[in-house]
Structures are given as structure tokens and as C-alpha cells.
Amino acid sequence: MFNSIKWRFTIIYFILIFIALTFSGIFIVQAFEEYNLSSVEKRLDDLTDVILSEIENLNDLNPKSVQKIISNYKELGFDEEIYMINNEDVIIATSTENINKNASDLLDLQLLISAKNEETRTAIAAIKNYDIRTMDRSLPVYINGKLSGILFIRYNLNEIYLTLSKTTMIIVKAIVIATAFTIVICFIIARTISEPIEDISKKALLMSNGDFSNRVEVKSNDEIGDLATTFNLLTDKLQFNINEVFKEKNKMETIIEYMNDGLIAVDLNKNIIHMNSRARHFLNIDNCDVMLDCINEILDIDSIINNNELIGIKNVKIDQNIFKVDYLPFKDEEENEIGLVFVISDITESEKLEKMRKDFVANVSHELKTPLTSIKSYSETLVNDDYDKEITKKFLNVINTEADRMARLVKDLLKLSNFDASFDNVDIKECDWVVLIENVLLKLKPIYQVKDQQVDFTNFVNDSLGKFDYDKMEQVIINILSNAIKYTEEKGKIIINLKNDLEYFIVEIIDDGIGIPDEDLDNIFNRFYRVDKARSRKLGGTGLGLAIAKEIVEMHNGKLIIKSKLDIGTKATLFVPKNVKL
Ligand code: ADP
């Protein structure tokens, strides 16, 4: 309790006031004593002067005459004890009852000796164990120029000392009361100083526990008031800064949580510090009993830490997916490595794309190599040997057909690569679906007529005006319809229906051709995919027709669905939105 600033102030003030009052009390008492004693001394001076002059005016030291003088003064009210002592040390006259007694038995011997030695002296004496205190004065008496005796006057100081002790008592009481008041007032004043400080310290403690809602009351505009204002300002700033830090932290956490990559942070003791849900999802560890064990099994954290190879990249395969794991250490303020961060990216798609790219290059090379090989071999044969006109023409026909095939292939590839490069060159205009389908039928008529196939087009739509890129959509219908023609036997039947619903124009192209095996259905939109390569090639297919059709339909935000049954037929359904939004 006494450690508090309030009590320290009070005790210090108490000590200061006590010392000040005690010293001033002592000073006052001393000054009072000195003043009284000097008054008595003066009084003794005056009295001795008048008595001495009267005695020294006598012709001789006649005890009666001296007694008369002394008695006179007593009667006049002087209550000092007056003694006249002759050279034989006998009191010959006195205002007391000690007549004819030996002076040295009663009075101060030192003073008597001094007077005998013709000195005048004054001294304060204590008699009877300090019960009585007196001021004594002795002086030589000369009659007719001859040392005749000693005049001794004694003044009783008891009255003065009594007054003095009463005064001292009053002063002591005053000191006690004053210090008591001082303690109370000091305590009150100290409290006004200490209370705001205690308040600040209490609020600072709350602040350290994260509670920033408290403010200190500013009661004065002195330094303590300034301190309270500054403290409130500090609290506001701290709260603001902490809020900012929280915001930043939340932002970071949200970014980490919702980033495309998985993120795991572990310390070097292999405790998981942070893991976002993407990482959990990628590593498929939600059902793990011991999370760290599962992560360790996949990422092999143990060997990374044990081999102290804290920076690296590796690929891990989980189920059908491939992930790239980048890891590197993070450090503390003193640049010591204290943990590892793993960033996990799903590269399944890019790996697939890379594979597709390689397959594509291989396919293109292969597709180009086949016609090139036959062109080369036929042209070499023609160059090296002489053939008759008919065989030469036959060979040249083969070369021509193969060159056409190469040209078709390159044309299709160029189309696809144009679509890949840009989706911008789609020219959406108002066009009529019926016009489009009838034009395609007209273009393909020579082909299906050769095969003696029956192609029926039925329009179920009242208003067939749609919005699409005419040339591209024509390509789609041509590709689908020519497939239907290609993969349907002679005399086969092909039905084309134009329908609509609220959202889409729907074109159905149904054939009763060879159909597509179930296992191939998923792949027929892949570039160069053909169910029967030899057959397709023979029929002039490049394996790119459906891929092109699908790309174009998707450019229009539409869908192309192909359903088929082997040996029964195929149904291609095209959905194109009425309001194409790019
Ligand atoms: P292609 O140029 O070989 O016809 P497409 O991409 O147009 O290539 O078609 C891919 C493959 O899908 C064809 O090789 C064929 O095997 C199969 N296919 C497409 N349409 C039909 C259909 N109507 N009937 C049977 N098979 C089809």
C-alpha cells in the first residue's frame, strides 16, 4: 500500500512539513527565550546601576544604610533578590531572609570570585536540581575608591521558563494539528494526481490484454491531463494500427484461402502452422487421422528437413492428378530458417495440354507423312521409269488426290489454329437458319446423290431468324452433315430437323449409318480422333471436322451433342442460343 504514489507523496509532504514546523518551532522558542533573557539582563543592568550608585554614594559600607536602600527597592515592587556582601563574604544586607549568612554558601561562587577580582559578571544558574533557574549578577562595590564589597542580584527565571514551556506546548500542539491537516490535505492532493495515473495504468493493462475500448477521463489541463489526452491518442492510434494489421492479416488469409494454389506452412519441428483448404483438397487429406503423417507421406517433409535441402521443386501424383510442389524456407527476424512453405499447383491440365500438344505434333506429322510418302514414291517412280500414258495418268491422279488431302488437312489445321488464336473474328449477324440449311443441302447434294441417299429437311420453327456467324455455322452444318453422308451406306436415310425452344435454335442431323461405338463417343471431338482411321482416310476425312464444329459452336456459346448406336445410326444435336452473347 505504501508503495503507491499517493502514500509516497503524503509521507514526503508530511516529513517536509514536520521538519519545517519543528525547526520554526524550535527557532521561535529559542528567540522567545533569548528575548526574555535579554530583557531580564537589561532589567538587572538598570537595577544594579541605580542601587550601585546609591550604595557608592554612602560614606562607608554601613549595613543599615545599605539595608535601607535595598528594602526601599523591595517595597517599590522589585522582586529580585538583592544581596550586599562585605569583603569577609558575609551578607550584610539583603531583600531576603539570608542576612549575615555566608555568601559563598548560598550564592554562585564563580560570580563572587569574579566580583572580588573586580569584574562584573552575569550568569544563569540552576538551583536545586534545576527546579529553580535564576539569572545572577555580581559586581564589585567601591566606596571612596576602595573595593568595599560585592553587590549580588538574583532574578528568578521560573516565570519565564514556565511561559516558555507553555509556548512550546502550544507550538507542539500546533505542529501536531498542522501535520495532521497536512497528511489529510496531502492525501487528497496526492490522490488527484495518482488517480488519473492509476487509471492510465489500469487501462494500459487492459490494452495489453487486447481491450482497446477504454478511454481515460481527462479531468484537468495540466501535465496529467496532457498525459491522459496523449494516452487516449495513443490508444486510438494503437487501435487503428492493430485494426489495420488485422485487416491486412484477414486480407492475406483470404487471399491464401482462396488462391488457386494450395499452401502449407510447417515449422522445422514439423508442426503445421498454416494450410489452406485448396491444399487440403489437392492432397485429399480431409479424412486423415494424423494430418501431418498424411502430408509427410505425400510431400516427404522428413527427408527435405533431414537432408537440409530446403529449396526445391517436385511433382507428385495423387490419383489421376499431377501437382507441382515448390518449397522454400521462411526466416525469423534474425534470418534463421524456421520453417518451410509448400506451394502446390495443380498441373494436371497443363500436363494434359502438353501431352495433347505432343500428340498433335505427332498426329500432324503422321497425317502429312502418309500422303507425302505416296506422292514421293509415285513421283520417283514416274521420274525413274518410262510408263505408258495411261499408267502415268493413274499415278498422277494418285499424286493429285494425295496433294488434295494434304491441302484439306492444312486448310482444316489453319482453321483450327485461327480459332485458337482469336475468338474475336466471329461475325455475328442476323441470318436465317432455313436459308443456311438449304444452302448446305444444295452444296452437298452432288455427294449424297452419288450415294443415292435420302436427305429430308423439316422446319418446325415459325421464325427461323437467328443471330450467328453465317460462314462459320455453315462450316458446322457441312462438317456434321458430310459425316452423316460419309458414314451412312448407300441408299441410307438422313433427317434434318430445325426446332427451337425459349433459349436455343436446335438443329438435329440424324442418320441410320454405321454409328459410333460407345467407348469412342467421348473422344470423337478430339483433334485427329477417328474411330476407324483407314476408313475415314479413305473417305477423305482429316479427323478434324468435329473438332472444328465444336470450336465454332462454343464460340457461339452453344452446345454440340452427339449420340450414337453402333450399326443403328448417329444423332448430332446442335444448340445455338437465340441471343448469342460473346
Ligand atoms: P473425319 O474427318 O474422320 O470424319 P471427324 O472429326 O469429322 O473426322 O469425325 C471424327 C470421327 O467420328 C470419324 O472419324 C468417325 O469415326 C466418327 N463419326 C463422326 N460422325 C459420324 C457419323 N455420323 N457416323 C459414324 N461415325 C461418325
Sign (positive/negative) of CA torsion 109, 114, 118, 123? negative
Residue 129 pLDDT greater than 70, yes or no: no
Which is the closest atom of ligand 1 to the Cα of 540? 2
CA neighbor of 71 nearest in space, from 49, 87, 55: 55
pTM, 2 dp: 0.50
Helix (H) or strand (E) holding 147: strand 146-156
For a mutational test of ligand 1's pocket, the pick from 447, 483, 535, i.e. the residue with the most ligand atoms closer than 8 A to its C-beta, is: 483
For domain 425-577, the CATH architecture is 2-Layer Sandwich (3.30)
Say how far apart CA 87 and CA 516 lie, in whole Å: 170
For a mutational test of ligand 1's pocket, the pick from 493, 495, 546, 553, i.e. the residue with the most ligand atoms closer than 8 A to its C-beta, is: 546
5-164 folds as Beta-Lactamase (3.30.450)
**Is ligand 1 within 6 A of the CB of residue 510?**
no
Q: Whose CA is nearest to atom 7 of ligand 1?
A: 545
Helix (H) or strand (E) holding 376: helix 348-384
User: Strand, helix or coil at 138?
Assistant: strand
Question: CATH says 351-419 is which class?
Answer: mainly alpha
Q: Are strands 91-94 and 504-511 parallel, antiparallel or unpaired?
A: unpaired
259-346 folds as Beta-Lactamase (3.30.450)
Per-residue pLDDT of 440-483, as tens digits, reads 999 999 999 999 999 999 999 999 999 999 999 999 999 999 99
Q: Whose CA is nearest to atom 19 of ligand 1?
A: 483
How far, in Å, from the CA of 374 to the mean position of ligand 1?
Answer: 24
Is 134 within 8 Å of 113 (Cβ atoms)?
no
Max CA pair span of the chain: 204
Q: Whose CA is nearest to atom 2 of ligand 1?
A: 541
- pLDDT classification of 101: cutoffs 50, 70, 90: very high
**Is ligand 1 within 6 A of the CB of residue 149?**
no
How far, in Å, from the CA of 571 to the mean position of ligand 1?
Answer: 12
Q: What does the CA dihedral 198, 200, 204, 210 come to, rounded to 10 degrees?
A: 120
Residue 1 pLDDT greater than 70, yes or no: no
Per-residue pLDDT of 496-509, as tens digits, reads 999 999 999 999 99
- pLDDT classification of 6: cutoffs 50, 70, 90: confident
Per-residue pLDDT of 170-181, as tens digits, reads 999 998 998 888
How far, in Å, from the CA of 263 to the mean position of ligand 1?
Answer: 44
Q: Whose CA is nearest to atom 11 of ligand 1?
A: 530
Which is the closest atom of ligand 1 to the Cα of 509? 23
